[in-house]
């Protein structure tokens, strides 16, 4: 009788497994389209595999950026162009920083028996932000340390250099902050 129970148990277990696997397969239209998309991707990769490089100009540029800006006290020259094509400039300590950059995480994931939810975290000033301030930049003047802030977009652009520009379009740039290019060169 024990063999009969084992055989019956195995049969029931096999049936349960089959039903469980069948219920896991998703025959929805979305699943079918996702499957088609994956098959297409697999075919394209087989026909056109990604190439490889012996040298990465992107990595070289990033490393040069690190070498350029990774120095304490490095000055940046920010030229701003308005809608009329006129230029002004700031000389700043370090790089201008978008207001949406933070030193601490802006969100955390809370888990409960009901699921997971993303919760906003307060910023360094104890206030919450939507992170939508990425067009506003701030920094500090090169000689006085004065706080400076500017916004780009809506017909205003900025160009960032690690040296003052002597190109004709920048020659008439108006000094917008406390430090002039001449002051910075005497530092």
Beta-ladder partners of 92: 76, 141
E-assigned strands of the chain?
75-81, 87-98, 107-112, 115-120, 136-141, 147-151, 157-161, 174-175
Can you name the residues that pair with 175 across neighbouring β-strands?
89
| Residue 136 neighbours by CB under 8 Å, 6+ apart | 98, 99, 149, 150, 151
Task: Walk along the chain (187 residues) and give the pLDDT tens digit of each residue.
Answer: 556 556 555 556 555 555 555 555 678 888 899 999 999 999 999 999 999 999 999 999 999 999 999 999 999 999 999 999 999 999 999 999 998 888 888 889 999 898 999 988 888 788 887 767 789 999 999 999 999 999 998 889 999 999 998 888 888 899 999 999 999 988 7
143 touches 185 (CB < 8 A): no
In the DSSP assignment, the letter for residue 147 is: E
> How far, in whole angstroms, is CA 70 from its chain's centroid?
19
pTM over 0.75? The answer is no
């Amino acid at each position: 009788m024990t063999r009969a129970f084992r055989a019956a148990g195995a049969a029931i277990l096999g049936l349960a497994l089959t039903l469980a696997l069948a219920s896991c397969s998703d025959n929805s239209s979305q699943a079918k389209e996702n499957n088609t998309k994956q098959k297409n991707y697999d075919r394209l990769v087989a026909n056109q595999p990604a190439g490889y490089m012996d040298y990465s100009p992107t990595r070289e540029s990033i490393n040069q950026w690190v070498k350029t800006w990774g120095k304490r006290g490095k000055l940046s020259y920010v030229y701003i162009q308005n809608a009329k094509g006129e230029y002004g400039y700031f000389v700043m300590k370090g790089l201008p920083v978008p207001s949406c950059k933070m030193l601490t995480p802006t969100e955390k994931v809370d888990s409960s028996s009901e699921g997971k939810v993303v919760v906003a975290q307060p910023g360094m000033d104890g206030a919450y932000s939507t992170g939508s301030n990425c067009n506003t930049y701030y920094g500090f003047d090169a000689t006085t340390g004065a706080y400076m802030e500017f916004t780009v977009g809506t017909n205003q652009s900025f160009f960032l250099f690690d040296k003052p520009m002597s190109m004709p379009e920048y020659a008439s740039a108006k000094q917008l902050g406390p430090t002039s290019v001449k002051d910075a060169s005497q530092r």
